[in-house]
Chains A and B, each alone.
Chain A
Amino acid sequence: MLWYKAWLETRSRFLTSLATLTIFSSIFVHHALYIACLNTFPCPEEVRHSGWRSEFHFLLFVNQQYVVLMWILAVVLLGMGGLLREKALGTSSLTLTLPVSRARLMRVRVAMGIFQAIVLGVVPWLAVLIISFRAGMPISVAQVGFYILLLVGGGLIYFAMAVLVSSLVSGEYTAPALTFGAVLLGAMLFDNWLRRFNVWRLVTGDFSIDRNTFLLSKQVPWPGLLGSLCVAALMLLASVIAVQRKEF
C-alpha cells in the first residue's frame, strides 16, 4: 500500500506531465514530417526532396532538446514532496508511526519516481515512432532507444537532485526553486568550464550527434551515463541518510 500512497501523491503531476510531453512530441513530429516533406502530409515517396532525411533527423534532435527541458521540469516536480513536506502538512506523524522503516518509505518513493521518469521518457518518443511510422517515414527504433537511454540514464541525476533538496528543505516553493536554480547554475557552470561533464549536453545528445546526418551515430557515452547514474545514486543515498537523521 505504500506504492498506492506514492501513486496517489504523484499521479496528477505525473499524468499532467505525461500528457504534456506526449502531446508536444506528437505535434512537433507531425510538423517535422510536414516540413521535411515539402508541406505535404501524408507524404508519398515521390514528393520527398533529396535532403528530407537529414532535415527530419535534425528536427528530431531539436525535439529531444524540448523533451529534455520538459522532462527535467517534470522529474523535478515528481521529486518534490516526501516526509519533510508531510511534516509541514502535519501528516508525517501518521506515516512515521506505521510499522515501516524510513528507508523503506524513501525506497518506495524513489522507485515510484524512477518508474514515472522512465515512462515520461519512453512514451513521448514512442508517440514519435508511431506517428512517423504511420506517415510512411519511419525512424529507426535504435535511434529512439538511444534518445531514451540518454534522457533517462543521464537525466535521473535531476530527479535525484530534486529528492535530495526536498529531503533537506520543506518549503512548498523553496525546494523546487532551489532545485531549478541548481539545474540552471550547473548547466551554465559546466558549459563554461567543464563542458565534457555537462549533463545537459549528454542528455540532449549533443555529444553523440553526427552533424552531417543528425543521427545519434557515435558510440553510447557509457562513462558519462554511468558517472551520472553514480552521482544520482549518491544523492539518493544522501537523501535517505538525511531523512533517517531528521526529527519529525
Chain B
Amino acid sequence: MTSEPAILTHGLTKSYGHDDAVRGLDLSIGRNRITAFLGRNGAGKSTTIKMLLGLIRPTSGSGTVLGKQITDAEQNRRMRQRVAYVAEDKSLYGYMTVEQTINFARSFYSDWHVDAEKKLLLDSELPANRKVKSLSKGMRTKLALLLAFARRPELLILDEPSEGLDPVGIEDLLRTLVSCSADGVSVFFSSHQIAEVERVADHICILDKGCLLMDASVDQLRQSYRRIDMVFPSPPPEREFQISGVKRIRTAGNQVRIFSSGNAEAVVERARNLRVVSVEVAPVGLRDVFLETVREN
C-alpha cells in the first residue's frame, strides 16, 4: 500500500476575472480515511473538486490525485478510472432508464461489483425500467450513489452526497461510507450537514473564501478545542486572554466566553490570577468549531 496522499495540491488557485474562487490551496488528503470538506456556499469546495477531476483548469498551482497530475489530460483520464465521483446536482441522463444508466456506467469500469450493484438496487427500491427524468430527486440521488458504490474505487469523491435523501437514506449513506473506508477506500466528501460529518469523518478540512482555514483530524479537534465560560467579580480586561490558541473572546458584563483551539489550561490559570468566581471548560462540537472558524475569517 502506498503512503502517497490520495489528494495533494500545492498553491491551487482558480480565478474568474479578478475573483479568486480558490486561493493557493495546499491540501493533503490521506488514504484510507474519510475526509470531510466543509465550507459555506461559494467557499470554493465544488470548484476544487472540479479542478481535481479535470473539469476545469487551475489558474495556477498544481495537484495530484492518486499520484496522477490533474492538469495532464491523459493522467487525469487514468486517474478517473480509479475514482468514483458523485456530483452536487446528481444529474444523470434523463433519457435513459435506471437499468440503462447502470449498464452504461458498468461498461467503463473493471472494478464494478455486480453483486453490490444488485444489492444496492434492491435496497434502494429503484424501479429498473423507469426513465431517470421521471425519478424524484431522492431517487436520482440514490441512483447516483449506486453508480459510485457498486464499484470498489480507490477514492470516492462526493459533493453534497446526502442532499435530497430522506433520513433512512442518509443513515444508509453514512453506513456505506464507513464500510467503504473500512474496505480501504479513501473518501473525500463535501457537506453542509455537520452532524453527519461529525459522525463519520476522520479528518476535517474547512474552506472559506477559497482559502483553507483548517486541516485537522476529528480527534485532534475534540482534544484541543474548548469553550471556557467564566464569571468575574468585575469586567476583566480582554487583553489578558489574548494568548496563543484563543480564537475568540466574548465579554458580556462580568461574564467572559472564550473559544480556544488549545492552551485552555493557560486561560484558566490567567482567570484564576484575575480572581475568577467560576470557570467552566467544555468540549466543543464540530458545528461550533466550523462556525467560529469561518466567522473569525
Contact = CB atoms under 8 A, between A and B. Distances in A.
Interface residues of B, number: 28
A97 B92 CA distance: 12
Contacts of A94: 87, 91-93
A89 B54 contact: no
B107 A1 contact: yes
B104 A100 contact: no
Given A96-B55, A97-B80, A101-B73, A1 B93 contact: no
A90 B90 CA distance: 8
B156 interface: no
Nearest to A98: B108
Interface centre among B91, B96, B108, by most chain A C-beta atoms within 10 angstroms, is B91
Contacts of A4: 100, 104
A75 to B, nearest CB: 21
Interface in A4-43: 4-5, 8-9
Contact of B108 (A1, A101, A248): A1
Nearest to A103: B73
A8 B94 CA distance: 11
A242 to B, nearest CB: 14
B73 A244 contact: yes
B246 to A, nearest CB: 42
Contacts of B103: 1
Interface in A198-248: 244, 247-248
Given A93-B87, A247-B56, 16 more contacts: A1-B103, A4-B104, A5-B93, A5-B96, A5-B104, A8-B100, A89-B91, A91-B93, A92-B55, A94-B92, A94-B93, A97-B55, A99-B77, A99-B108, A101-B73, A248-B55
Pairs A-B, 6 closest by C-beta atoms: A90-B91, A99-B81, A1-B107, A93-B87, A247-B56, A99-B80
Interface of A: 1, 4-5, 8-9, 89-94, 96-102, 244, 247-248
